[in-house]
Structure 1
Amino acid sequence: MPGDNNIVDLQKIKAEAERATANELAIPLPVLKITSLFKSTALTCFKQMFEDADDVLFARADKAETNSEQIVYFDAMRDLRLYQKNIEVAFLQSVGSAIRGIRQTKSSAKAGFPVLADDLSLVGLDDMESRVAIEAMITKINDRAASSIEHLQIRIQTLFPNIEITRRMLPFGPFSLCYAFSDALSELDMDIRARLIIFKLFDRFFTEQLVVFYQKANQLLTKLGILPEMVSGKPVTRRTQADYSEAPGERQSDNILSSSGKEVESGFGSAWDAKAVGQNPHAYGSAGSGINFSLLQQALRRRSASSQDDAKALAGDYPVSAGQASLSVDELVRAVSAIQGEFYQDADEGVPAIKGNGSVIADVLKLVRQRIAEAGRDRPINQRDADVASLVGLLFNFVLEDDHLPTQMKQVISTWQIPFLKLALQDASFFDRESHPARHLLNQVSKAVIGWQPKEKGRDFLLEKIEKFTRQMVLDKNLNPQLFADLNQEMSAFLDAERRRSSLIAQRLKDAEEGRVKSDLAKKKVERTIQRSLAGKRLPEELVEAIEKGWSKKMVVAWLQGGEQSAEWQSLSRFIEELVWSVDPDETGVEARGKLLQMMPRLLRDWREGLTDISYDMTEIDKSLAMMETCHKQSLRRIEKTQWERLDSEKPGLPGLGFESQEKRHSTDKAAIAALPVSGLDDKVAEKGSPKESENQSVPAAQAKAVIVKSDLETIWEQRVDQLRIGSWFEFLPKGGEKQRFKLAAAIKLNGRHVFVNRNGVKLAEFEKDELIAELASGRLMPLDDGQIFDRALESIISGLRH
């Protein structure tokens, strides 16, 4: 048709525009496709979020107890309505910048590193609460979509082969998205109470949709031919970029056990592993233990072959099938449920408690076998189920023998043996899948209770939570595996809230300690400066007292605010030197008289203004000013007297020039000066000056000598203390006291002081660096291993079965 030339193919133009944009920005076309998918997802989530935000904020305002609180929520409602589009645009622009920034990021760039504890002193409490909320959202999304995020990261990595894309650099990753939203929201002057509500809404509307987005993004990249062989549903062992070339089977379990076993034995692995600080504390499982059910079975088989008695102990002394028909998993689980009541007894407040001590798995299966025989169905337990039962028994043996767990908590956890046995029998991935909710639940609880101590009064929310879980597990005889996922999620939320609360308390404590240390350093610096200025000088007591009690405070503030290099500190220090010189000048020439006359009005003015600024007593200010004026007059007379005496010596024997009367006048001045009350401190300062100087001169030599004689053991302990991880738990046995458990809350770099708190953030102890080294070396202070107990148990099982 003649008109065909006028037909425009819009799809073709759109595709050409996308290719042009991709070429211009050097961004692969698949990434732009994902970006388009993400933009659609984000705008849908924002629309729902802002609609709900109106209702939520209005409800909060309606329930507000004060007018100011009500205004906070109404202002937030108004700002969100006005700036909704701005937030959306800023958020999407931030994501776009992250995508474009990939090309600008070198593989060695350290982008997105977490804020260290030592840097948090610069962060305000509002910012800290926001950061804690953001990190909680990041953790939640990572937990919900761990496998999909990792597959997306690997696929995008293949599109940028020369650039290492870490999890935090991933433009569509939880870290980038959550902080992009925080940055977009930061443009609004919003109260922290309203801001936290908005974060919660972002979490509610974005988390689940992001899980879906990650799945769709992987599907889209698969269709485009990006690693189609990678299955999205299969869990992936978490590795760094350096590990991508390493095949899963290349890591030898023997090597893993040889290294990790030492850490478990010494107990130092968790507290001193500085590199592990960056790992996600909420992530399921460890970074990869390399232990699976097949490896555990092989260890069981080897041990069984070497010792029949040991094999019977491990298997609970019950028959294992050898080819004949055996119990199915469902039959075995039902049989365990039927007899589990005989192993429980009701404790306080209806919380089930296990009968006896230690593992009961062998006794449970022995009774199951007995009941089956009594029913006339002599069917054995198959080998796989026997191995599962043996491993669950060994797992809880390790947990219940762990000295790091409180005895009362171990008694509660021991009731989980039968529920975990039934779950492990039903779920074949229990020992293989590091992200298994039941494994993560056990890890979380064991880590949370390390610092737990019974409360004498008041509610113990952690104990109540664990007892609640126990009731749910035991009473649910059918034991839906989803129960463990629900309990794990509830425990994560509980610990996140507790962690935020204790972090804020610990941060306030750290700020207070650092403030106290800085204040002490400032006072010592001011004291040394004043002593140096007063050394060898004679000043009236009134002036010395005003300097030490008044002017010193102004100098302390100046040092704290700007340090020694600040103009304010230099000015105040120079003022002291000038004041001392004006009262007791060491110059007597004509220039000295002019210098003093020029200096006097300024000194009096600055003295009054400076002491008034710090609210010094006005009566004392007036007294010191009067004394200063008197001293200045005497200093002038002293200078004049010296000048006249010099003239006398240069022109002897000339009569009638009045030198005699002038000399008499100066004699009178000298007597008046001698009669003035003079502080005895200046003599002490002068006496102390020389020894201090000689002592300071000898310090470097002594320190050099100490370095030479320092033993290798002392050096090792000092390095270990420097590597202590904030949040590490310790057990302390003071001389003649009771055991205490506390965690490291702060390490003050200014003076080497280490502050320890309990689970609630209350300070229990503090040690200087030398004291801490001594306590650790003596064994009175012992680090507790708060690593993943499930993985440590598996490693211990393998190690025990091999030796």
Structure 2
Amino acid sequence: MHNDGKVVPFNRAQATPSPLARLPVVVLQVRDKAAQQLQQGLQELFDNADDTLFEMADKARSTVDHHIFFEAMRDLRLKRKNFERVFMEQLFVAFADLGLAGRGDMHLVPVVSYEGASGTSADEAEKAVALEAMLSRVRHRDGLALGQLSARFSELLGRRLDDHENPLGPALLCEFFLQAGRSLGVEIRVKLIMLKLFEKYVLSDADLLYAEANQLLVATGVLPEIKAVPSRRSGGPATREQHHANQSITEPPFEPSGQEAFSALQKWLVAVRGSVAPTLEASTEPQPIATRDLLRLLSHLQQYVPEPDAEDDFDLRNQLEQLLTRVSVKSGRSRVLEEADEDVINLVALLFEFIRDDPSVPDAFKGLIARLQIPMLKVAVLDKSLFSCANHPVRRLLNEIANAAMGWSPPGDNPHDYLYLRIEQVVQRLLNEFVEDTAIFSQLLAQFSVFTADERRRSELLERHTHETEQERLRTEAARQRVAQVINRRTMGKILPQFLLHFLQQAWSQVLLLTTLKHGEQSLPWQTALRTMDELIWSAGLQEDTEAGRRLLEQLPGLLKALRDGLASAAFDSFSTREFFLQLQAMHVQPSGGVDVMVEVREPFVFNSDLSTSLEPLAHDDPDLLTAQQLRIGTWIELQQNDAPILRCKLTAIMAPANTYVFVSRMGLKVLEQTAGQLALALKRGTLRTLDDGLLFERALAAVVGNLRQLNRGK
């Protein structure tokens, strides 16, 4: 970093000009301007971190806590410059990767990763919850502006760039922060404090970041028809300190002019006009129907919306055509829609066509959500800010419903569980009660949000328990493999009495397993168990008339005691081991004739494993394998396994040492465990696909506008 505070691309970006050379100049301008703001935010973060930690240390109730916070202050001061440097390097890497032809090349760490994590699983789960809450707040508050920025980047790059791939999106900014913080030797309480400060001094200014980036891109002619969302604060960067000082005060969301935003969309809706018109020969000049009359027609149709499982599709535009024809016949005049009203009808119809075909919405919910089309259309006729305001209660309700439903899998014999019934209640209330007072949407949103928040809390608790259980299971699996290794190292290639080999593999292996799990491999009990096994194997090859054989008779009582103590520690009772000790006695007393069966150990001993190892080998650069390896924590997938119902589940952890991918249900229960190779084969067979968990309304609107633009260009 230069002393003047300006951000300069780091060495790697300079050393790899090829990706940067493929980036439009305006993208680099966006990067440099954003880097300056982010650097300023980090500086404010560290300036305030020192004061915050000092205050925590001053209030500490114990000497230990006092020491922890003072050591954290010292660590932050020493590593501050390195922290800021690594953060900015990660930012420049992400922008450089935008210039690469392929996707998924960003060298980043997952936002929430349990693999190789320090601290206890409870600590990591607590950090994961805090991160997810931060991301949710940013997406909720600044999702529209971020989506517009991603759309403009997509236009410049010639390929779709999702919000989570956007270098300025909250997900990647959090990744840069976690990557930079790896060098900090602080405990979980300090990490959580740092995350809160990151949200306060960096993420809270995301609106400024996106507003300036969008304005810069609009000024160069990138999607100017989509009106950029300005900052929530008119004062701009100069108000940062005041904003942070008063952050506890709730700020009203910025609402751009609904009519202005809709007017920009109308330019693209020209291509689909004329799809709603009366099928009647016009004998006189067509007469537009008033908006108020249109609302009455829609309220009439609202009472006849078919059930979700109805076989016939409900075509709203066709239904309106029929009503307009009837009105025209009755009045003797050709009644048509106002241009703006027809544009609203077409836009809402296209949005619901996207939802109907969206794979992220479970099929069981598509018919249910489709019943919201008329209520949403009536709101759009009344209030055009539906298309420009991310905080509009109608679109938030749709997004909340879609988000809750995305992880839903058929619950066995009953296709409609309590989540389905709860959403059905919301839909039915709107159909029964909504006329023109949109306040009902806010009421239902508040009630449904309480329901989903409670669900998330329960899910997080179960997910945490699932993760802890998986960690313990994998620890046990690793211990089993280690025990098998030490037994095989001592027995492979040897000729041993069959009863002795059976004892080692079936009984003493359990002693070793419990010992390593309880005490570890550096402990005295583990070394004692190994020495006892070595002496037992050694004793099987001795002859009575040799010096070693005579020495064995002197050591035999100690060996027998060690064997009995070890078996007792593993809960083997004396009755179950009686036969072994009788055979062992016969072998030691009569070495030449006390053993009936001797075997050569050729096959390695293997513990029964919970993990499947059968897998078709795939090349390291196989595209499906690379896709599987790039799955991020929190990704939802849909999997069809044989004749079983379709399973929807979320990647909750990638567990070392085998990099096992663990998936949980919507309720946080483990439902699937796969290796990257198994996931790749499912991708290859087409039985697995990832689900887009972005906000449904925003995704639908972006897709519809993109299709309309293509349609207009083709004319």
Number of the residue aligned with 1:645:
none
Corresponding position: 1:332 with 2:332: no
Number of the residue aligned with 2:694:
787
CA drift of 1:537 comes to 4.5
- How many angstroms apart in 1 are the aligned matches of 2:78 and 2:317? 57
Note closer, same or farther for the CA distance 1:526–1:613 as it changes in structure 2 (3 Å cut): same
Corresponding position: 1:719 with 2:626: yes
Equivalent of 1:743 in 649, 652, 656: 649
Farther off after superposition, 755-764 or 525-534: 755-764
Q: Deviations over 1:456-477 (max 9, x none)?
A: 4597221222122213323344
Corresponding position: 1:446 with 2:364: no
Corresponding position: 1:471 with 2:428: yes
- How many angstroms apart in 2 are the aligned matches of 1:492 and 1:123? 31
Equivalent of 1:547 in 504, 513, 518: 504
Letter in 2 for 1:780: T
Number of the residue aligned with 1:312:
274
Give the secondary-structure state (helix, strand or coil) at the position aligned to 1:675. coil
Give the secondary-structure state (helix, strand or coil) at the position aligned to 2:622. helix
Equivalent of 2:680 in 770, 773, 795: 773
CA drift of 1:676 comes to 0.1
Give the secondary-structure state (helix, strand or coil) at the position aligned to 1:430. helix
Equivalent of 1:297 in 266, 288, 293: 266
CA drift of 1:777 comes to 0.9
Farther off after superposition, 552-561 or 579-588: 579-588
Equivalent of 1:116 in 77, 95, 113: 113
CA drift of 1:626 comes to 6.6
Does the aligned pair in 1 maintain the 2:655–2:661 contact within 8 Å?
A: yes
Equivalent of 1:106 in 84, 97, 111: 84
Give the secondary-structure state (helix, strand or coil) at the position aligned to 2:647. strand
Number of the residue aligned with 2:303:
344
Number of the residue aligned with 2:449:
492
Q: Deviations over 1:556-594 (max 9, x none)?
A: 13444577666654553343223211332499986x579
Does the aligned pair in 2 maintain the 1:416–1:470 contact within 8 Å?
A: yes
Corresponding position: 1:383 with 2:339: yes
Does the aligned pair in 2 maintain the 1:333–1:425 contact within 8 Å?
A: no
Number of the residue aligned with 1:433:
389
CA drift of 1:483 comes to 3.5
Q: Deviations over 1:405-453 (max 9, x none)?
A: 3444222212211221122223332222334333233233223323343
| Structure 2: runs of 5 or more not aligned | 1-39, 92-108, 147-168, 178-185, 227-252, 254-259, 607-614
Number of the residue aligned with 2:351:
395
- How many angstroms apart in 2 are the aligned matches of 1:377 and 1:426? 26
**Which structure 2 residues correspond to residues 163-174 of structure 1 after superposition, within 5 A?**
none
- How many angstroms apart in 1 are the aligned matches of 2:519 and 2:661? 25
Does the aligned pair in 2 maintain the 1:744–1:754 contact within 8 Å?
A: no
Does the aligned pair in 2 maintain the 1:721–1:773 contact within 8 Å?
A: yes
Number of the residue aligned with 1:276:
none
Number of the residue aligned with 1:76:
none
- How many angstroms apart in 2 are the aligned matches of 1:368 and 1:99? 72
CA drift of 1:94 comes to 10
Aligned length: 565
- How many angstroms apart in 2 are the aligned matches of 1:316 and 1:781? 45
Does the aligned pair in 2 maintain the 1:318–1:366 contact within 8 Å?
A: no
Letter in 1 for 2:303: Y
Number of the residue aligned with 2:372:
416
- How many angstroms apart in 1 are the aligned matches of 2:449 and 2:431? 21
Does the aligned pair in 2 maintain the 1:583–1:631 contact within 8 Å?
A: yes
TM-score, length-scaled by structure 1: 0.55
Over the aligned positions, Cα root-mean-square deviation in angstroms equals 6.0
Give the secondary-structure state (helix, strand or coil) at the position aligned to 1:497. helix
Give the secondary-structure state (helix, strand or coil) at the position aligned to 1:502. helix
Give the secondary-structure state (helix, strand or coil) at the position aligned to 1:743. strand
Number of the residue aligned with 1:265:
none
Number of the residue aligned with 1:580:
537
- How many angstroms apart in 2 are the aligned matches of 1:365 and 1:318? 10
Note closer, same or farther for the CA distance 1:715–1:100 as it changes in structure 2 (3 Å cut): closer
Note closer, same or farther for the CA distance 1:145–1:673 as it changes in structure 2 (3 Å cut): closer
Letter in 2 for 1:675: G
Does the aligned pair in 2 maintain the 1:389–1:421 contact within 8 Å?
A: yes
Letter in 2 for 1:725: R
Number of the residue aligned with 1:193:
none
Note closer, same or farther for the CA distance 1:626–1:100 as it changes in structure 2 (3 Å cut): closer
Does the aligned pair in 1 maintain the 2:483–2:512 contact within 8 Å?
A: yes
- How many angstroms apart in 1 are the aligned matches of 2:70 and 2:267? 52
CA drift of 1:343 comes to 4.2
Does the aligned pair in 2 maintain the 1:359–1:417 contact within 8 Å?
A: no
Does the aligned pair in 1 maintain the 2:291–2:338 contact within 8 Å?
A: no
Give the secondary-structure state (helix, strand or coil) at the position aligned to 2:483. helix
Note closer, same or farther for the CA distance 1:113–1:490 as it changes in structure 2 (3 Å cut): farther
Q: Deviations over 1:282-303 (max 9, x none)?
A: xx9xxxxxx96455322223x3
Number of the residue aligned with 2:595:
677
- How many angstroms apart in 2 are the aligned matches of 1:768 and 1:170? 27
- How many angstroms apart in 2 are the aligned matches of 1:529 and 1:104? 44
Does the aligned pair in 2 maintain the 1:537–1:584 contact within 8 Å?
A: no
**Which structure 2 residues correspond to residues 315-714 of structure 1 after superposition, within 5 A?**
332-333=291-292, 335-337=294-296, 339-345=298-304, 357-361=313-317, 363-364=319-320, 367=323, 371=327, 381-450=337-406, 451-453=408-410, 456-457=413-414, 460-537=417-494, 539-540=496-497, 543-560=500-517, 569-585=526-542, 592=548, 600=556, 602-619=558-575, 672-680=590-598, 683-685=599-601, 687-688=602-603
Letter in 1 for 2:666: R
Letter in 2 for 1:422: K
Letter in 2 for 1:557: L
CA drift of 1:739 comes to 4.4
CA drift of 1:527 comes to 3.3
Does the aligned pair in 1 maintain the 2:511–2:570 contact within 8 Å?
A: yes
- How many angstroms apart in 1 are the aligned matches of 2:504 and 2:78? 60
Letter in 1 for 2:421: E
- How many angstroms apart in 2 are the aligned matches of 1:767 and 1:169? 25
Does the aligned pair in 2 maintain the 1:395–1:797 contact within 8 Å?
A: yes
Note closer, same or farther for the CA distance 1:96–1:392 as it changes in structure 2 (3 Å cut): farther
- How many angstroms apart in 1 are the aligned matches of 2:412 and 2:296? 34
Note closer, same or farther for the CA distance 1:579–1:94 as it changes in structure 2 (3 Å cut): closer
Letter in 1 for 2:275: A
Does the aligned pair in 1 maintain the 2:277–2:337 contact within 8 Å?
A: no
Does the aligned pair in 2 maintain the 1:419–1:479 contact within 8 Å?
A: no
Letter in 2 for 1:789: L
- How many angstroms apart in 2 are the aligned matches of 1:722 and 1:587? 60
Give the secondary-structure state (helix, strand or coil) at the position aligned to 2:705. helix
- How many angstroms apart in 2 are the aligned matches of 1:169 and 1:771? 27
Does the aligned pair in 2 maintain the 1:538–1:679 contact within 8 Å?
A: no
Q: Deviations over 1:517-540 (max 9, x none)?
A: 544453344334324423455555
CA drift of 1:239 comes to 3.9
Does the aligned pair in 1 maintain the 2:625–2:680 contact within 8 Å?
A: yes
Does the aligned pair in 2 maintain the 1:316–1:390 contact within 8 Å?
A: no
Note closer, same or farther for the CA distance 1:530–1:506 as it changes in structure 2 (3 Å cut): same
| Structure 1: runs of 5 or more not aligned | 1-26, 44-81, 151-163, 172-179, 188-205, 219-231, 257-283, 285-290, 304-309, 635-671, 693-702
Give the secondary-structure state (helix, strand or coil) at the position aligned to 2:631. coil
- How many angstroms apart in 1 are the aligned matches of 2:461 and 2:86? 33
Does the aligned pair in 1 maintain the 2:516–2:526 contact within 8 Å?
A: yes
Does the aligned pair in 1 maintain the 2:660–2:673 contact within 8 Å?
A: yes
